[in-house]
Amino acid sequence: MRTYRIAAVPGDGIGPEVLAEGMKVLRAASEARGISVDFEVFPFGSERYLKTGETVSERDLQDLERFDAMYFGAIGDPRVPTGVLEKEILLKLRFHFDQYVNLRPVKLYEGVPCPLVGKTPKDVDFYVVRENTEDFYVGLGGRASQPAEYGLKVSSGLGRGTTYSLKVSSLADEQAFQLGVLTRRGCERAIRYAFELARRKRKTLVTSVDKANVMTHVYGLWREVFQRVSMDYRDIGTEFAFVDAISMWFVKNPEHYQVVVAPNMFGDIITDLGAMIQGGMGLAPGANINPEGLSMFEPIHGSAPKYKGLNVANPIASILAGKMMLEFLAERRGDPALSEAAALVESSVALVLSEGRVRTRDIGGSSSTSQVGDSVVQRISEIEKGRFEAP
């Protein structure tokens, strides 16, 4: 039997609970299609950090190379200062494996309450392609409390290793600064991915997000590259949107969007908004993609520490992230059984959501995390037995 090896990182808070359901569902769906997924757990997260001070070691990074993909829960814990686990685990993995695209589908499923009055599933169905290694995420910055010269190193993206030195000459008071870095090739690879995605999914419009009216340097480059790349895709329409304006349009006219491509930080922000218009954080999956390397699939929500261990979190985002993982592997490996398994997961999720009997609190139900997972697994076997038509 063909076996795919997945590195699972349950992490903190609700991460382990939602990922457990995802693994359950992926096992069932792949078994139904005659393949197998084998999960090996990596204990990255607050517990290990608090006990040993270790986040992700060099050794861990080497071990991960052996896997077909990574399946991530969530990280973040109130006992650890903010930023440590985020930077040392999640961002470290994204950057180390050069997962330069963060693909976040915004799709409202039938039966899921949408906060936008009058909008239905046909109105909310697009992709956000977020550049995932550069921009304000490159770790370049500092705080100056006295005049001095500062040496600053770019720590991710294609500009990695470049050092900038900044001379602070006079200083009335303390100052803090954070610099965003975009590289031409870094913009190009994310933007090109968005156009290729549009073609693959038969979409006819790619919207580029920036704030080129104010941050003219970085987003001026972004815009220029977008324009250049778009020349190679004359069959696809293009437009620019400022990040503030698109935040309004997502709410007012989500049906306008097909593929949206954004620099890292704006992509981060608009996809939380995207999650809400698709029914909430409990439903929004994401994929950190390196098309030639190791990719990582995760719900876009965080660890929600206050719900930890209560078995109430919605596992659908995690399950759908798992579905993206199967799809991604299917394409890379050319294995149709994987894409059938992915379709089976999605149909089963869609059935559970549209029936509405089993759902977690965030979308108006009272079921537990594991009941939702069980119910998806049950639909998988029913679809297999032909008792349900896949929608």
CA-CA distance, 59 to 56, in Å (whole number)? 8
260-289: contacts with ligand IPM (CB under 6 A): 268
Regarding 300 and contact with ligand IPM (CB under 6 A), the answer is yes
| Contact criterion met (CB below 8 Å) for 100 and 133 | yes
Query: Which among Mn ion, ligand IPM, none contacts residue 91 (Cβ within 5 to 8 A by kind)?
Result: ligand IPM
| Contact criterion met (CB below 8 Å) for 184 and 192 | no
C-beta of 17 vs 135, nearer to ligand IPM = 135
Find how far residue 373's CA is from the centre of its chain.
Answer: 21
Cross-strand bridge partners of residue 296: 70, 288
Regarding 106 and contact with ligand IPM (CB under 6 A), the answer is no
Q: Which residue is nearest to Mn ion (CB)?
A: 268
Q: Which part of the chain contacts Mn ion (CB under 5 A), choosing from 129-137, 196-204, 267-275, 276-284?
A: 267-275
Which phi and psi angles does 124 have, rounded to 5°? -120, 95
Query: Which among Mn ion, ligand IPM, none contacts residue 294 (Cβ within 5 to 8 A by kind)?
Result: none
Q: For the beta carbon of residue 307, count every other beta carbon within 10 angstroms.
A: 18
Query: Which among ligand IPM, Mn ion, none contacts residue 12 (Cβ within 5 to 8 A by kind)?
Result: none
CA-CA distance, 166 to 153, in Å (whole number)? 11
Regarding 138 and contact with ligand IPM (CB under 6 A), the answer is no
C-beta of 17 vs 268, nearer to Mn ion = 268
- Alpha helix locations (H) across the chain? 15-32, 46-52, 58-64, 84-85, 92-96, 184-200, 216-230, 243-252, 264-277, 316-333, 336-355, 369-384
C-beta of 7 vs 380, nearer to ligand IPM = 7
Q: Which part of the chain contacts ligand IPM (CB under 6 A), choosing from 17-25, 86-94, 337-345, 348-356?
A: 86-94
Q: Which part of the chain contacts Mn ion (CB under 5 A), choosing from 117-125, 132-140, 265-273, 287-295?
A: 265-273
C-beta of 7 vs 300, nearer to Mn ion = 300
Regarding 91 and contact with ligand IPM (CB under 6 A), the answer is yes
Find how far residue 66's CA is from the centre of its chain.
Answer: 22
Regarding 135 and contact with Mn ion (CB under 5 A), the answer is no
* DSSP string covering 106-117: EEPPTT---SST
Q: Which of 268, 340, 346, 362 binds Mn ion (CB under 5 A)?
A: 268
Find how far residue 26's CA is from the centre of its chain.
Answer: 18
Regarding 131 and contact with Mn ion (CB under 5 A), the answer is no
| Rg of the chain, C-alpha, whole Å | 21
Regarding 88 and contact with ligand IPM (CB under 6 A), the answer is no
Using the Cα atoms of residue 330, residue 390, residue 206 and residue 116 in order, give the sign of their dihedral: negative
Site residues (vs Mn ion, CB under 5 A): 268
Site residues (vs ligand IPM, CB under 6 A): 86, 90-91, 268, 300
